[in-house]
């Protein structure tokens, strides 16, 4: 039997609270907070997806995704455009304002994430991130490197 200090669920809970406490204030005025931010990151960095694809990728209920996208549209951060390959579907595309918002917040969020992992050294943080992505079965699309790519694209 493992000791209480080895409680995986408790450790995840503590880390999630630390993450939320540090990242939350950076995204306080962003539509839907971290959910909206992660959604816009996906839109900015990926091939223009449909709402359904975004919902599946981010694990957000499709009905909730509709409201989230509506609010991002109202804020001028994304647009719904017809999909030239399927007239029944709309693609979600970041506006210039949306790309600028991600560029402005990306570094702040990355700093807050690093602070949440502050008990680890730089190599351990990188390894932890790789293992976390592997354990979650996905590939990270929102990374510090991706932030740099967005920022460079906006400078052109």
Max alpha carbon distance in the chain (Å)? 57
SS3 assignment, position 84: coil
Q: What is the pLDDT of residues 57-82, one digit of tens each?
A: 888 999 999 999 999 999 999 999 99
**Could you report the per-residue pLDDT of 12-70, keeping only the tens digit for each?**
889 989 988 999 999 989 999 989 999 999 999 877 788 998 998 888 999 999 999 99
Domains of the chain: 7-155 (1.10.10.10)
pLDDT computed for residue 65 by the predictor? 94
pLDDT band at 86 (very low <50, low <70, confident <90, very high): confident
Phi, psi of 86 (to 5 degrees): -155, 100
Please say whether the dihedral angle defined by the alpha carbons of residues 15, 135, 94 and 71, taken in this order, is positive or negative. Answer: negative
Residue (of 142, 100, 124, 108) closest to 26 by Cα position: 108
Res 132: pLDDT:
87
């Amino acid at each position: 039997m493992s000791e209480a200090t080895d409680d995986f669920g408790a450790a995840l809970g503590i880390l999630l609270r630390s993450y939320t406490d540090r990242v939350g204030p950076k995204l306080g005025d962003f539509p839907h907070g971290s959910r909206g931010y992660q959604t816009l990151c996906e839109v900015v960095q990926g091939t223009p997806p449909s709402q359904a694809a975004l919902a599946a990728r981010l694990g957000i209920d499709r009905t909730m995704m509709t409201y989230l996208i509506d609010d991002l549209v109202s804020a001028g951060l994304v647009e719904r455009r017809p999909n030239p390959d399927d007239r029944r579907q709309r693609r979600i595309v970041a506006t210039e304002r949306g790309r600028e918002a991600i560029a402005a917040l990306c570094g702040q969020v990355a700093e807050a994430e690093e602070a949440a992992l502050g008990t680890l050294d730089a190599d351990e943080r990188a390894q932890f991130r790789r293992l976390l992505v592997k354990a979650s079965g996905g590939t990270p699309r929102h990374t510090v490197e991706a932030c740099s790519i967005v920022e460079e694209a906006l400078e052109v």
